[in-house]
A and B are shown apart, each in its own frame.
Chain A
Amino acid sequence: MALVIDDHLLLEHLVGRLSGWTAQQVRDSAVYTTASWYYRVANAAVHGSGSGSLSGRIASLPDEEQRALRSKIASLPGSIGLVGPRTLVPIMVALRTTRRLNYLSAEALALAVTAEASIIVRTDSPLLRDACAALHVEYRLVDAS
């Protein structure tokens, strides 16, 4: 069993915050994410500033604890699968969908097809959902913890 998780779920997975059905699925599955979703997490974590940012929130914590989090974001743990464009781009361009998928959606669908994985997301993407349905890729929107 394999899963492709979106950026929200990736972040929650990285800090062990998943619960219930989602946590069980993640525990029992090979877990992948896409470069696009990983990029969103890493970019938001690194470039935010001010009290609402991640760096602002952790600024008062010990340096060692901050480094542990930054390390996980800067170098994604090997237990999370990340398949590169050499593999996925040929599939992305071979996908035939009723409406054109953007890079993020095409990458997610190509990854799911390659890994024979289901896609689970916190944020619904109607276009990706429809494309998954056409190829019989399981797509599930999960509620927030």
Chain B
Amino acid sequence: MATTLNLDPELQSVVDRARVLARERGELLDGPGTPPSDGLSPAIRAAVADWLDSGDYDRAVAEIVADDPDLQTQ
């Protein structure tokens, strides 16, 4: 996947400045990282998979965002 942005000059200027600051703050990654799942047991992975597949994760999120429009999927 690749992205070629189409930004107006004003937004481009804001983005350019943000990128410089993000780089200085160490917020930007240099490339792919190590898999974050190392150290988790098969049983834990299965429990999370079941949480997702059952719809219980979605129900928990629905409760969390119900009163917060800024966290809802628009």
Give chain A's interface residues, CB within 8 Å of chain B.
Answer: 1-3, 7-8, 11-17, 25, 27-32, 36, 39-40, 43-44, 47-48, 52-54, 57-58, 61-62, 65-66, 68-69, 72, 77-84, 86-88, 90-91, 94-96, 101-105, 110, 112-118, 120, 123-128, 134-138, 140
Contact = CB atoms under 8 A, between A and B. Distances in A.
A84 B27 contact: yes
Interface residues of B, number: 55
Nearest to B64: A43
B27 A31 contact: no
B7 interface: yes
Interface centre among B11, B44, B59 (most CB of A within 10 A): B44
Given A68-B39, A72-B36, A90-B14, A115 B28 contact: yes
A83 B21 CA distance: 11
B64 A44 contact: yes
A113 B45 contact: no
A53 to B, nearest CB: 7
Contacts of B64: 40, 43-44, 47
